[in-house]
Structure 1
Amino acid sequence: MKKFSKVLATAALALSLGACSMTASPEDDAKNKSDLTLKEVFTNSQKADSELSSVHMDMELTQVSHDESAEEGTMNMSTTSSTDLVMDPMTMYQTSSVNMKMDELDGSELPLAQVEMYLTEQEIYMKDNIQNEWTTVPNEMADLLKDAALQESSLPENQLKQLEPYLDDFTFKQDDDNFILQLSLEEEKADQLLKEGMALMGDELQSSFQGAMEDISLSKMDLKMWIDKESFHTVKMDITQKIEMTQDGKKVKVDQTMNSGFSKFNEIDSIEVPAEVTESAVEMESPFGQ
């Protein structure tokens, strides 16, 4: 039995080393081929992203939710955002819009919000299409928003660190310009990845999620990343997920798709909040009461 165990351990080690040292399979029309291994691409990409001084991000997020009680039918919510981010000092400018479709609305799209936001180390300024005036955010809300911004700013660097234990599960390809990394996880592995991601959140952000959802699990996750061959920056990332949660005592299933694009690496020198924003902003009432 001991001898058999050693054989299994040796085989597992060989498989692990083989996955980390494999080179990218070229697409049919690829002419510019690289011999870098998957592990080398991961290492170089993490280093490049950790040294970012600024970046621009475009994101499209679609969530299709279905209440198992079937009382409310299916709800389709879509969010688009455009973000400029400077790392030091942490400053951000973002515009976003949220739209919703529900079965009760016969498939009609309902615009929920359009938001413009500046985030600095001292203040957060927001304006939406309903209030149509600039406001400063109360401290308790500001902490949550800043935690969320920090999570966003560390992507895809944090994403790569979190995914490194799953190197053996990746497929690894390349075209002329990019390395193409794909990962598909189901059941226990997918749920473990979700729990690890939530553990990376700040305490305030974790508390807000726990308060809104009693239980959450991930049954399937598919990820595809394009990493530039020259800069090693992640230029595009697509994620689809199947999520199950309990919310207000009801079981809800969510199919989520997120498509992100990254550009203007180290090109944004600074983000300045316009004087008309700082001078006209009023303090927002706290949603948490006094």
Structure 2
Amino acid sequence: MKKWGIAFLASLVVLVLAACNDSAVPTKGSENNSELTLEEVYQKALERQNELESVSAIVDMEQEMSFGSGEEAIEINSKSDMKMDMITKPLSVYMEGTIGTGDQEAAEELNMNLKMYMTEDGLYMHDGLEAYWTKLPTDDFDAILVQTAGQVNAAEQLEQMKEFISDFKFEQTDSSFILKLDTSSEKFNEFMLGQLNLNEMLATEETQQLLQDTKFEKVGYEITINKETFDITEMVNNINFTMNIEGESISTISNSKISFNNFNGVEEITIPQEVIDTAQEIEY
């Protein structure tokens, strides 16, 4: 569970963009309309992204997971509220917040406080249920660092999303460009599986089989870009997927919103020496 928890936290760092050649459709009531095409907007956003040295974000995520049927049906809900600071070079991340979980039979929701540091010195996490910090083993950390660095690379994301260019809708308000994608295609299912392919971090036959038995039934993206600065200010992601584990079907609905702010305002992320000195390495 520790490894999955760390993978979840690392995945919140991901930024996604896409491009096409149509100009944005104005939303009702908007007056400050731009004739820029999505391709042009993307290029400007990409240039801005490459200049970005740091950013902060507020992450809200809700998830509903259900499995079983009849009297044996179980539904588990979780909600996370996180704050994140990130420096791009060298990649450094600090996150803190809460994750709440509960099921239909629980008298009250279980809330857990989380903190995480990720720098070149390692990945350290405190989950509030234990009185000490934990450290990810070096081999696993190296894999996460490489993967996360690739995911926050906007140019790499564009290359991966090229085949879905025609599926995006492009809109604009007075202050923002909005990119939207809603799909359930088999092609996108394969793409999402590729994004979740954590070979380096979770290189087991069981994990690979789990990914192969996962189907994305609905995927929705909404990405908001500031018209003046071309910063990504918000990303909304709604995903419905089903996975089969030992013959049991588990359905998950995941909705998340990431609001970005404080562009180039994060000066330094340093792991406190006390955390480094007292952390216990995770054992699986």
Task: Letter of the 1:131 partner, please give it.
Answer: E
Over the aligned positions, Cα root-mean-square deviation in angstroms equals 2.6
Residue 137 of structure 1: aligned partner: 136
Residue 58 of structure 2: aligned partner: 58
Q: Greater CA radius of gyration, 1 or 2? A: 1
1:110-125 alignment runs, 5 A limit: 110-111=110-111, 113-125=112-124
State the distance in 2 between where 1:20 and 1:90 align.
Answer: 29
Residue 256 of structure 2: aligned partner: 258
> Contact 2:196 / 2:211 at 8 angstroms: preserved in 1?
no
Give percent identity, aligned residues only: 26
Shift of 1:126: 2.2
> Contact 1:171 / 1:182 at 8 angstroms: preserved in 2?
yes
Question: Number of paired residues?
Answer: 264
State the distance in 2 between where 1:88 and 1:212 align.
Answer: 33
Which of 256, 267, 270 in structure 2 is aligned with 1:269? 267
1:135-284 alignment runs, 5 A limit: 135-143=134-142, 145-146=144-145, 149-150=148-149, 153-154=152-153, 159-199=157-197, 203-205=200-202, 207=204, 209-210=207-208, 215-279=213-277, 281-284=278-281
Residue 87 of structure 1: aligned partner: 88
Shift of 1:206: 6.3
User: What runs of 5+ residues in structure 2 fail to find an aligned partner?
Assistant: 1-18
TM-score for the superposition, normalised by structure 1: 0.80
Question: Once the two structures are superposed, what CA deviation does each residue of 1:108-148 show, in whole Å capped at 9, x if it has no partner?
Answer: 3222x322121111222222212122333322443455356
| Greater helix proportion | 1
Question: Once the two structures are superposed, what CA deviation does each residue of 1:60-97 show, in whole Å capped at 9, x if it has no partner?
Answer: 12111111445242111222221111111221111132
Secondary structure of the residue that 1:44 maps to in structure 2?
helix
> Contact 2:64 / 2:75 at 8 angstroms: preserved in 1?
yes
Task: Letter of the 1:195 partner, please give it.
Answer: L
Task: Letter of the 2:185 partner, please give it.
Answer: E
Secondary structure of the residue that 2:251 maps to in structure 1?
strand
User: What runs of 5+ residues in structure 1 fail to find an aligned partner?
Assistant: 1-18
Q: 1:157 to 1:95 in 2, by over 3 A?
A: farther
Residue 34 of structure 1: aligned partner: 34
Residue 283 of structure 2: aligned partner: 286
Question: Once the two structures are superposed, what CA deviation does each residue of 1:218-276 show, in whole Å capped at 9, x if it has no partner?
Answer: 11111111111122121101111110101243111111111111111222122122334
> Contact 1:194 / 1:217 at 8 angstroms: preserved in 2?
no
Q: 1:82 to 1:151 in 2, by over 3 A?
A: farther
State the distance in 2 between where 1:249 and 1:204 align.
Answer: 25
